[in-house]
With several copies, the nearest count.
Chain A
């Protein structure tokens, strides 16, 4: 199996989850109120009151066979809005 770690702005979260569901992800886990630093600079919780929001960390465990479709659904969102995605190996407990 594979594990995906996607980190995007909370503003795009709904869009990302819809894309994951459409691409056949069997499930996902979302951690909100996440901060960090990337190419787009530092993201803090300071602006959360304004609706701009912080980041969200989305974790997907899926079969290797499902990875291609998910990648195709997710990559354009990351490219247009920013955010990063990584894959690693995992097995069912």
Chain B
């Protein structure tokens, strides 16, 4: 069963385009998706997923399961960075350990989207409120990361940082704003302007799969460029980048079982735990912990953890889900 899921995932257009991007870097082709086209696709994906999640959230409402799931997501967004920090601190200085911990405590929206698409191709349903969990898990790790630096770094090293700019960076960075904004717009429009939401559908639904494939072509290129810098990363971090996702996913599965989440939501919850941020967190760390080396946290999250999850992780987690959670 596992190998069928892996193959089905591996031979779907989005993952194949991701592979084409990786390949083009290995073959040193001059293929590039010039800036700012990747930004167009990443904004589009956030906007579309937010709108769709909002639409479904408006239909399902906020019941007990929703609140429990979101609470569990927030708990994971505290647990993962703290345990990761303790582990990473054995090998890295406090700045790099904290920045890496923040990346792994946060999430990767594209991994989440790819998992949604994978569920779609298996015709396994999932709930719109998972997008709310995604949105809420992005920010806390940024704050935890900086708190860890504050609590463990030698005094006098951190000029001019204040809570205002930190909270601003955590909750008002562009990817959080677009995701949360679109989610709320989805909720409001679904309630008051259903005709408007229907007219959005060709843009946000029908194009989604193609746009994701195109964007993953670029992500393959970027991940491939990062892989070239692997030497600088070191064996310990490589192992962490490849082993922590299944471990975090397993914890996520445990939580899903406790919460009695259905199959689709359980997979998405696992993917939230297993994925690492290469968008909001690096952008925030570059600013708030400039002492950390970006090539460590970007290379591990984008060059290793992301491809692992996209190619192997998602079908692997799904196999576990299918074994332990009965289909609806």
Which residues in A have some Cβ–Cβ distance to B below 8 Å? 9, 11-12, 33, 41, 44-54, 76, 80-82
Contacts and interface: CB of A to CB of B under 8 A. Distances in A.
B282 A49 contact: no
Contacts of A47: 222, 282, 298
A77 to B, nearest CB: 10
Nearest to A41: B295
A17 B218 CA distance: 23
Nearest to A45: B35
Interface string B31-56: 00011101101100000000000000
Contacts of A41: 295
A44 B298 CA distance: 13
Interface centre among A9, A45, A50, A80 (most CB of B within 10 A): A50
B35 A51 contact: no
Interface stretch (B58-66, B256-264, B286-294): B286-294
Interface of B: 30, 34-36, 38-39, 41-42, 159, 173-175, 218, 221-222, 225, 278-280, 282-283, 286-287, 290, 294-295, 298
B283 A11 contact: yes
The dominant DSSP class at the B interface is helix
Given A41-B295, A80-B290, A81-B290, A48 B38 contact: yes
A80 B283 contact: no
Interface centre among B41, B159, B175, B287 (most CB of A within 10 A): B287
Contacts of A46: 221-222, 225
A51 B281 CA distance: 10
Contacts, number: 54
Contact of B36 (A49, A80, A82): A49
Contacts of B290: 80-82
B159 A51 contact: no
B35 A49 contact: yes
Contacts of A80: 159, 290
A56 to B, nearest CB: 13
A50 B175 CA distance: 9
Given A11-B287, A45-B35, A50 B282 contact: yes
Given A11-B286, A81-B290, A51 B279 contact: yes
25 contacts: A11-B287, A33-B35, A41-B295, A45-B35, A46-B222, A46-B225, A47-B282, A47-B298, A48-B38, A49-B35, A49-B36, A49-B38, A49-B39, A49-B41, A49-B42, A49-B222, A49-B279, A50-B42, A50-B283, A51-B30, A51-B279, A51-B282, A52-B282, A52-B283, A52-B298
B278 A50 contact: yes
Contact of B279 (A9, A45, A50, A82): A50
Contacts of A45: 34-35
B39 to A, nearest CB: 5
A51 B36 CA distance: 11
A70 B143 CA distance: 33
Contacts of B278: 50
B321 to A, nearest CB: 29
